[in-house]
Amino acid sequence: MSRFFSKSLESLAPYTPGEQPKASGLVKLNTNENPYGPGPKVGAVLREQTAELLRLYPDPECSELVAAIETYYNLSDGQVMVGNGSDEILGFAFLAFTDVDKKIVFPDTSYGFYPVFGRVFKAACETVPLKADLTIDPSDYYQAGGTVVIANPNAPTGIGLTREQIRGILDNNRDNLVIIDEAYVDFGAESCVPLIGDYENLLVIQTFSKSRSLAGCRVGFALGNKELIADLNRIKYSFNPYNLDRLAIRIATAAINDKEYFEATTREIMDTRDWFGLEMAKRGFGCLPSQANFVFAKHVGVNGKSSGKMSGKAYFEALRTKNILVRYFDKPGIDDYVRITIGTKAEMEQLLAATDVILEEANPTL
């Protein structure tokens, strides 16, 4: 740290992104990317472009993309804004809706960026423990006394709340904003977008990175009532008015307009996930009930014997030696688990075969 760095940010601990390996040939199941890649309509848009596209500044309102999202969700003008990944929108939201004396409340086990945003934007943070089964108890967030942020489904557990449970949180926080981060909602959970008309205290945030296979393009969006969206735009125009480049606007518009490809690929991922959970159970792993494109799995023993149990860290490291990347969080309460992104069926078969070898090597007698 240089002697010029802000004193008030000295203790800032940045977010640690999952590894993006330089080497090829790895089975990459560590950052919840979509194995199927962008659809044919995105490919067509890319092929049409020339370098001339990049001469002018982009449309700061991203009107073409915003209109496509409004149409997709049947929302009206002014209820959507887009950002450079949903991380940027979350950042805008933390700036707009928290303060030193306006706290932010979120689960103690959730997306690792929330506490970092809290720190960098100098918001008072309050974390709420998950229940022993790693679920969220909605009533823990009633009368929260500050802005609530909940990932639904939660990360890294994959467990979702129902729309009715979130309605309960909204009903019991009439004077608090409730932000629902729906990064994984398209993999089987209930979206809160249909509640936007009923609740002026609801802001929904989604991303093109997971279900729409555009992690490398950096596009996320917020949906809510006009005043909330205007607040976010106020921050955006004070910070980075051209937050999406011209290519990203076109690509994301093509992606949201390709409903057919989106539905086929998300269905495939959900089917693979459900099959994979059963295969892992045969190998002595328990997976939390996931509504996301990953599972949170821990080894509970072999053939009913807990003596053969493998720790999360040992399993993570053993997979790494077999060129399979998953995510491990060295954090009390979840350090028995690894988070495994759902890839293609062939990738999951590779992981299962490697797991068989790892278990055999660890317990040759079982």
Ligand X SMILES: *Cc1c(COP(=O)(O)O)cnc(C)c1O
Catalog residues that contact ligand X under the rule CB under 6 A.
Answer: 85-87, 111, 151, 155, 181, 183, 207, 209, 215, 220
**Closer Cβ to ligand X, 189 or 302, answer by number:** 189
The residue at minimum Cβ distance from ligand X is 85
**Strand-pair category, 147-151 with 178-181:** parallel
Q: How far is the CB of 9 from ligand X (least distance, A)?
A: 21
Q: Which residues pair with 102 in a beta bridge?
A: 99
191: amino acid identity, one letter? S
- Could you say which DSSP state residue 255 is in? H
**Closer Cβ to ligand X, 182 or 347, answer by number:** 182
Q: How far is the CB of 365 from ligand X (least distance, A)?
A: 40
- Considering only CA atoms, which of 208, 162, 153, 136 is closest in space to residue 339? 153
Q: How far is 271 from 155, CA to CA, in rounded Å? A: 20
Judge contact between 188 and 293, C-beta under 8 A.
no
**Closer Cβ to ligand X, 220 or 284, answer by number:** 220
**Closer Cβ to ligand X, 18 or 308, answer by number:** 18
Q: How far is the CB of 180 from ligand X (least distance, A)?
A: 10
Q: How far is the CB of 352 from ligand X (least distance, A)?
A: 24
Q: How far is the CB of 359 from ligand X (least distance, A)?
A: 29
Q: How far is 125 from 147, CA to CA, in rounded Å? A: 10
290: amino acid identity, one letter? S
**Closer Cβ to ligand X, 244 or 302, answer by number:** 244
Q: How far is the CB of 236 from ligand X (least distance, A)?
A: 15
DSSP characters for 105-172?
A: EEESSS-THHHHHHHHTT--EEEEPPPTTS---GGGGTT-SSEEEEESS-TTT-PPPPHHHHHHHHHT
**Closer Cβ to ligand X, 270 or 318, answer by number:** 270
Q: How far is 109 from 339, CA to CA, in rounded Å? A: 13
> In terms of C-beta density within 10 A (0-12 exposed, 13-18 middle, 19 or more buried), how is residue 1 classed?
exposed
280: amino acid identity, one letter? M
**Closer Cβ to ligand X, 113 or 199, answer by number:** 113
Q: How far is the CB of 347 from ligand X (least distance, A)?
A: 19
